[in-house]
Amino acid sequence: DILMTQSPSTLSASVGDRITITCRASQSISTWLAWYQRKPGTAPKLLIYKASILESGVPSRFSGSGSGTEFTLTISSLQPDDFATYYCQQYDSVLYTFGQGTKLEI
């Protein structure tokens, strides 16, 4: 199975900050990567797919980049609603795998 590793596990930031979360794959996955946001008590929400394509309705302050084995999720100016846990997921293999998550804290 393809192992996905996110860093950091926890990130403390303030409203207005620019933050970056990294996701690394144990083997090349081209750009077959998605990012999800999860808040307590709610279902995960798709933010970005194919490494850099913003899902419809997702604010433009979110962006993704990368290919092969290294990927990033950037939030350009944190808003109060952005404090959540973020997950990357590879779908290069039919056996999907998620990163362990990055909790974004105030």
Partner 1 sequence: EVQLVESGGGLVKPGGSLRLSCATSGFTFDNYIINWVRQAPGRGLEWVSSIGGGNRNIYYGDSVKGRFTISRDSAKKSLYLQMNSLRVEDTAIYYCAREGGSGRRYLDHWGQGTLVTVSS
Q: Which residues bind partner 1 (CB under 8 A)?
A: 1, 32, 34, 36, 38, 42-46, 49-50, 55, 87, 89, 91, 94-101
**Cα dihedral 37/6/32/17 (nearest 10):** 50
The CB-of-36 to partner 1 minimum distance in angstroms stands at 7
Q: CB of 77: closest distance to partner 1 in angstroms?
A: 25
- Residue with smaller CB distance to partner 1, 20 or 100: 100
CB of 15 to partner 1, least distance (A): 25
Detail the DSSP E strand segments found in 18-101.
Answer: 19-25, 33-38, 45-49, 53-54, 62-67, 70-75, 85-90, 97-98
